[in-house]
Amino acid sequence: MTTDETRRHIQQTALELFAGQGYEKTSLREIAERLGLTKAAVYYHFKAKEDILTVLFDEWIKPIEEVIEWGRAAPPGPATKREVLRRYHLALARAGPLFRLFEASKAEMRDLAAGTAYRETMTRVLALLTQDGAGLHEQIRCAGALLILHGAATALDGIEGTPEEKHAAILDVALGLLPAHARD
């Protein structure tokens, strides 16, 4: 296996363990054992499990950054707000286990650099939705739309429907929360 392949396997295995048992409960030793590597081999690639999380987050954040860049360049208005929400939803859907890890482990993530960056990113997306000096109710509606996208993705396991149907319903509900002028 090449160095890049080993590094990628470490990241994937760490993500599976982080998502399955929690970030705090996962050790570099467990990651190494799951891969059949020595702990030293894992340390060669990552000095700490936070380094793994940071690399995973940096990969996940790229599509979100593209949404933010697109939203900043687009003309302000209701159509842009709707499109920002649609694009953000797609980026979250692609994040899969990492996104669920952040949502399920908010307390664990709070003091980590990736957790801080995650919160700052959400704030920047919210700013795109409220960029025209929205009032309190409009700001809350926009925040609610983002929270629906975040929360629903982790709470749909017991709800019937295909993944596609669930994602479409999540987006529909989130778009419905936008202020009336942004829904038209």
> What's the average model confidence in pLDDT over 108-133?
86
CB-based contacts of 20, cutoff 8 Å, min separation 6 = none
Kindly report the pTM of this predicted structure: 0.81
Q: Is the pLDDT at 106 greater than 80, yes or no? A: no
Residue whose C-alpha is closest to residue 84's, from 76, 98, 120:
76
Cα–Cα distance, 60 to 127 (Å, whole number): 20
Percent of the chain scoring above 90 in pLDDT = 48
Give the 3-state secondary structure percentages of the chain, helix then strand then coil, rounded to 5. Answer: 80, 0, 20
